Chains A and B, each alone.
Chain A
């Protein structure tokens, strides 16, 4: 898989490249600023872009802007956005186009070893991955809603993991239960929350996120 990395801190850029290249990914470009990122995306047409939110020259939200712009230009190029802090506001903007291939994670998660690699694979494959911090806050806002409050604690855990972008298999792994049990729970959740169920894993994530965010899906 060919990856472009944009991160302005030298140390982190090298660390990221190392983590990915030791696991057999090809880093076609590792750049340190917004304009360089734009050029690298145009030149290499990678399978995935890993982008820091804050990049020179403005040190504002250059990363998100360029990522969204590149997704419009290059037919939904998969983008994994990394940041020192996560904001629901940014999550909302990244999810707004309603297609997959998007990830939004704290930089801390890179240390999580396998989980980070799973996220990279999932996003590159057109899936959606959201940081647990985003989901925790989303869930906190939703616990007052009757429908969410009516879920059992186990179902709430599974809803959280679904929103983070985990597949049934990954959820079963994480909670140490069988995959069958997980799929039974998910069916229940969809019934209780009245979310249209879908076999496509990515559409499922988007529907759950939209529900938690209080938006309507089409």
Chain B
């Protein structure tokens, strides 16, 4: 009880403090906007100090949420890069250059560090959005109390209504301000968590259904702005490519390939934002030009001494003949029009909130001469309607993207035949070694045992009448042999493809594996779909190898396994409390993992200082398929 009273009493000064903090934050947001603007012109010096100062504000907010509202918001930032140490000659090495002073290479390091950290973008977004959400939340309490106090203290000066009514109103306002202060402060802390917590911590919040709805609508309303921005860039790139190819012919055709990453970005967005899977429709790149017997390279009727020009022309020809290229260009040119579709919802939302529900400060009246009683509900109703149609409109946009950027029926058919006939020379070697191992295991193990069982059975047949006792003993032995053979087959099957993987998918297969290990494991899985079977299998065996390393070499007692799919990448990280010192360049285990996942363009990062802990992270770019 005492605690509650204290919280209510302190809520007001705390809110007041936050209001002041946020007013400074508004200035900082302007500075950040300016630095982002300068960034567009290549002036990136102000970016680092602007982001760092935003981090300080964000950290103050996290601390306030933790101390005052018991809302834990862990720091999401990557660790700061270490200070660059001077070499023996006193100079500082950065990349392939040496510097006489430290600050410049250090500045470059900081820039990369901030740029790579996903939390940076969220911090900036928060700085820009918070004045519209966080500020009102903390302002309401103090405003009510101060307004109420003013009404009581200066009853005769302010309004032409009876003093008693005004005093009563003032008392009510103060009471409301005091009562609302603490809950609003808590709401503010929860809002702070939405953008300022690391993604893992936000996942817990996201899983609550109501929050998820609001967050999904928020994204669906904000993303059209990104699309609009992108579409202007697309238009420029599309026009330049089209004009370049028309005017210069072959010379500009590399541009046709440069367009593809842009199209890929839209394909990824359609998948991540609206769940519309858009496969790449392109034909295979042409084969490298073959060398003739006289050492020359041929293209058309001409001979070339080096393969560079024929290769370029081959690429150009294949790009020009691929209908997908022209659909890409069409999409780029049309994308401003397409982006308007989802942007309608955003425009409607802005109109509802800022055009109708809020009287614009510079126009002293409500929109269309409405009274506040009509304008406020109408404005919010329009905003709600906009939020409701935002997701369907985003899906409509994704459908247009899919129609233009996805493969046509014929291309789909072509791709399928290609996939069947395609061979993968880089993995066949590993495959054949694996097959030989399986053959040897079967030959020396289960197969031999079955032969022995067959022989024993024929002996039993022979003995069953003459010596039933010996026949019985032999039967028991045979049964034991069959059990052993089964056990061997089972472990062989597990080493080829663990049954749980086919039955439950990667997440549960890792959980099952963890349960079989003689150490404490904590497994978290965030995989709202299934994966291509080859990726699944590679990730499973890579994880199994990492875990067995942790036990065999690291001497670990406890491991943490985390599996998630985010931004088109499957990430599997294994952390253990062992003694560390693992080196990915040595040891066959880690290189084996690298070879296994390289087929899928996967990466393996290992940090393992001597003394531990060891953290290994596997990243495999892949699509998330619907749950099986």
Contact = CB atoms under 8 A, between A and B. Distances in A.
Contacts of B504: 60-61, 89
B628 A60 contact: yes
A92 B514 CA distance: 13
A144 interface: yes
Contact of A85 (B479, B494, B511, B519): B494
Contacts of A87: 500, 512, 515
Interface in B435-490: 479, 482-483, 486-487, 490
A88 B490 contact: no
A53 B503 contact: yes
A111 B628 CA distance: 34
Contacts, number: 51
B503 A61 contact: yes
Interface string B483-523: 10011001001100001101110001001100111110000
Interface in A150-181: none
Contacts of A61: 503-504
Contact of B500 (A89, A111, A143, A144): A89
Contacts of A75: none
Contacts of A89: 500, 504, 508, 511-512, 515
A59 B518 CA distance: 30
Contacts of B486: 106, 108
Contacts of B503: 53-54, 60-61
Contacts of A92: 515
A141 B551 CA distance: 13
B481 to A, nearest CB: 11
Contact of A60 (B487, B502, B519): B502
Contacts of A85: 490, 493-494, 499-500
A1 to B, nearest CB: 25
A84 interface: yes
A111 B500 CA distance: 24
B500 A108 contact: no
B518 to A, nearest CB: 5
A144 B517 CA distance: 12
A74 interface: no
B518 A111 contact: no
A54 B504 CA distance: 11
Nearest to B516: A137
Contacts of B487: 108
A11 interface: no
A163 B483 CA distance: 22
Nearest to B486: A108
B511 A84 contact: no
Interface in A57-86: 58-61, 84-85
Contacts of B500: 85, 87, 89
Contacts of B493: 84-85
A88 B516 contact: yes
A214 B531 CA distance: 31
A68 to B, nearest CB: 14
List 3 A-B pairs, minimum CB-CB distance, nearest first: A88-B515, A89-B512, A61-B503
14 contacts: A87-B500, A87-B515, A88-B512, A88-B516, A89-B504, A89-B512, A89-B515, A108-B482, A111-B479, A137-B515, A137-B516, A140-B518, A144-B518, A144-B557
Interface of A: 53-54, 58-61, 84-85, 87-90, 92, 106, 108, 111, 137, 140-141, 143-144
Given A84-B499, A88-B512, A88-B516, 12 more contacts: A53-B503, A54-B499, A54-B503, A85-B490, A85-B494, A87-B515, A89-B504, A108-B486, A108-B487, A137-B515, A144-B518, A144-B557
